[in-house]
Structure 1
Amino acid sequence: MTGSMIVNNLAGLMMLTSLFVISVKSYRLSCGFYACQSLVLVSIFATLSCLFAAEQLLIWSASAFITKVLLVPLIMTYAARNIPQNIPEKALFGPAMMTLLAALIVLLCAFVVQPVKLPMATGLKPALAVALGHFLLGLLCIVSQRNILRQIFGYCLMENGSHLVLALLAWRAPELVEIGYRYRRHLRRHCDGVTGKKNMAYPRHAGRE
């Protein structure tokens, strides 16, 4: 199996885990699936870094492991403790409809990315289609869910999708780490609104506000 096939398969696994994040009823399970998805994303970064000698992605994979795999799921799990589990959720779409919409989104994105020239390899276009579809699926989760924590999960899915798009299109840019940092600070503010207090997992840095 070539490196491009590994990346494409891992990207498909990301889309599968995103459906579990949205569909499962338990918030803790959703946090666990998000951690698994983030671990898959870290694996994609590490694979791309080894294939194309991209040191920036190796640094980003280490940063993503600490923040996405460890810190964000812990913060979300803590936030879920304050939300009753027995309240029925009124989502706009059920799990079956979300699965169908996800397939249609990825199919549409596959047509959209056909004229795009990747700086890495043309064999990674399926991963780019999944990354773009992952971003749109997170947006769909935000507008279709009526629960604030589920909507924050949608932001998390959008973040992972946007980071994968950046890794495929602008993998040599040193600003990738800064973009990821600012996006995580934006996500932290939404988590603060759920917990009702300020999280100390992301320290403030002078000059980055």
Structure 2
Amino acid sequence: MNGFLIVNGLSGLLIVSSLLVTLAGNPANSARFYALQSFILVMLFVALAGATGSGELYLWSFTALLTKVILVPAIMYRAFRRLSDPTIGSGAVMPTALSIVGAAVAVILCFGVASKVTLPAADAIKPALAVSLALFFIGLGCIVAQRNILKQVFGYCLMENGSHLTLALLAPNAPELVEIGIATDAIFAVVVMAALGSRIFDTLHTLDARQLTSLKG
């Protein structure tokens, strides 16, 4: 039971780190906070592996460490650090306080959903399951409520982390091949979106999503 308490406790840090990612002043700082969140996710996988006796989750942890903590943040940091659009600031559409309230509402609603789950595997990790669902919706909110096209990439990354955590919680014995597939998708998606964002900036000299109505070809 102590192992599951650690899992649920670490999941709370994922919400805090997701707010740091979405509210960071520039995409380069968001990349750093994303690496921090991914490291928390790795620790959560290790704790969950110990609590469930799943050897597969230890392999998931190692793969996530290489891809989510090191490779993907490095790609984003290197691609985004030279891109800046002072006219949009952080790119947030909503005030910081409203973003925090929105995240809290998402967590509360997802707790309500998770409490209805009757799977035996979910009994001890319902708080973490609720957080994994909330993480997905916070990422979706980041995509919708961000003017900065580079910050929208992090919305996708948050959604992917939420989905990844949901799978780990409900199917801890899933084979390592599943994790490799998830990691590969994330890497290629980030590379494509980073390249696209850089090309848009080089062409239009803006990172404002509202200015992309003139984008052609």
TM-score interval, normalised by the smaller of the two chains: 0.7 to 0.9
Aligned sequence identity (%): 43
Post-superposition shift, 1:139? 0.4
Mapped to 2, the partners of 1:96 and 1:58 lie a distance apart of 37
Give 1:61's aligned residue: 61
- Does residue 1:77 correspond to 2:80, yes or no? no
Distance 1:91 1:26, change over 3 A: closer
Instruction: Give CA-to-partner distance per residue, 1:133-188, whole Å, 9 cap, x none.
Output: 00000000001101111000101111111100000112222253144134312333
TM-score (norm 2): 0.84
Q: Is the 8 A contact 1:49 1:58 kept in 2?
A: yes
Structure 1 stretches lacking a partner, 5+ long: 197-209
* CA distance in 2: counterparts of 1:118 and 1:97, whole angstroms: 34
CA contact under 8 A between 1:21 and 1:31: conserved in structure 2? yes
Q: Summarize deviations over 1:89-112 as a string: whole Å, max 9, x none.
A: 342212111100000001000111
Counterpart selection for 2:178 from 166, 176, 179: 176
In the TM superposition, what is the alpha-carbon distance from 1:85 to its structure 2 partner? 5.2
Contact 2:122 2:169 in 1 (8 A): no
Contact 1:91/1:146 (CA < 8 Å) preserved in 2? Answer: yes
* 1:204 match: none
Answer 1 or 2: higher relative contact order, Cα 8 Å, separation at least 6: 2
Larger radius of gyration: 2
The TM-score normalised by the length of structure 1 is 0.87
Contact 1:119–1:169, Cα closer than 8 Å, also in 2:
no
Name the structure with the higher helix share. 2
> How many residues are treated as equivalent by the alignment?
196
Contact 1:119 1:168 in 2 (8 A): no
Query: Is this contact kept in 2: 1:26–1:85, CA < 8 A?
Result: no
| Contact in 2 for aligned 1:11/1:130 (Cα 8 Å) | yes
In the alignment, which residue of structure 2 is the partner of 1:189?
192
Task: Choose 72-81 or 110-119, whichever is displaced more.
Answer: 110-119
Corresponding residue number in structure 1 for 2:134? 133
Determine whether 1:14 maps to 2:17: no
Quote the offset at 1:33 in angstroms: 1.1
Higher mean Cα deviation, 115-124 or 161-170? 115-124
TM superposition shift of 1:123:
2.1
2:192 maps to amino acid? R
**Partner Cα separation in structure 2 for residue 119 and residue 168 of structure 1:** 11
CA contact (8 A) 1:113 1:125 kept: yes
- Equivalent residue letter for 2:13: L
Check whether the contact 1:42–1:61 (CA below 8 A) recurs between aligned residues: yes
Show the counterpart of 2:160: 159
Equivalent residues of 1:38, 1:68 under 8 A apart: yes
Aligned to 2:148: 147
Write the letter of the residue equivalent to 2:66. Answer: I
Equivalent residue number for residue 206 of structure 2: none
Does the aligned pair in 1 maintain the 2:83–2:198 contact within 8 Å? no
Asked if structure 1 preserves the Cα contact closer than 8 Å seen for 2:136 and 2:162, the reply is yes
User: In structure 1, what residue type is equivalent to 2:11?
Assistant: A
What secondary structure, in the 3-state scheme, does the structure 2 residue paired with 1:120 have?
helix
CA RMSD of aligned residues (A): 1.7
